[in-house]
Structures are given as C-alpha cells and as structure tokens.
Structure 1
Amino acid sequence: MSEFLTPGVFVRHPAQPDWGLGQVQSVVGQRVTVNFEHAGKLLINAAAISLRVVDPDDAE
C-alpha cells in the first residue's frame, strides 16, 4: 500500500476515525508524515499501519 502514499494524497487512519481526513506531507521509506484534521501532524509507520487512501470529496 505504501507505493500509493505520496505527498498530497488524502488518507484516513483505519483505527482512528476521529482524527479525520489526513494529507500526506512526506514519505521516507516506511515513515509517512500525515497532517490530520483533528490530530495534527503525525509520523506513521506504514509497515505497521495501513493508511486508507481516500478521495477527499467523497462523504463518509
């Protein structure tokens, strides 16, 4: 999945829906920095967490 994670892509954290929509800021190996609506900027280990790529215009 991490091959789809590039800066600018919108994602959701599957275990933290309350964080809201996130936008990938940077990707270095398996380390993905994401800026979430309600949680701010967080470093995610893509080897441990499969972020879900979403279309920001789709309602959830």
Structure 2
Amino acid sequence: MTSDRRYSPSSPYRGVTILTPGMLVHHPTEEDWGIGQVQSVIGNRVTVNFEHVGKQLINGDVIALVPLDES
C-alpha cells in the first residue's frame, strides 16, 4: 500500500510548513522589501504583507522566506 501524503518530508513544501500566519519574515534576495508578515500559507503559496511593497504572493518552491528571530 502506498501513502498519498501530499506534504511528506521530501515534499518541496517542507520549508513552507514552518511558516504560519502572523510570523515575521524577510525575502532572501529582496532586502529593500523590508520585514513581511505572513498572511496565509496554502500548499506552496505564501501570502506576505511586506512593509515597503505591500502584499506579495510567494511561491515556496522557488523562494525560501527567512523567518525572523523573535527572541
């Protein structure tokens, strides 16, 4: 019997699964966008509201958003 687990550990979504709404992140190559707050995560699609460019839809298969350390 095979498993139909869509979000298995080898899935391209594995980095996205650590993101949750409300988390603060930054884009690894667009530092001028400023800090972003995750609005939603659906599969590999992450909607983030960045302070300088507004709401952006990020493909988690292509861009690994970097969570900010909240300590």
Structure 1 segments unaligned to the other structure (5+ residues): none
1:55 CA drift (Å): 3.0
Residues 1-60 of structure 1 aligned to structure 2 (within 5 Å): 1-55=15-69
Instruction: Tell me which protein shows more strand as a share of its residues.
Output: 1
Judge conservation of contact 1:7–1:25 (CA < 8 Å) in 2.
yes
Structure 2 segments unaligned to the other structure (5+ residues): 1-14
Query: What TM-score comes out, normalization by structure 1 length?
Result: 0.88
Query: What TM-score comes out, normalization by structure 2 length?
Result: 0.75
Give the length in aligned residue pairs: 57
The percent of aligned pairs where both chains have the same amino acid is 58
Structure of greater relative contact order (alpha carbons < 8 Å, 6+ residues apart): 1
**Misfit runs of 4+, over 4 Å:** none
* Structure whose alpha-carbon radius of gyration is higher: 2
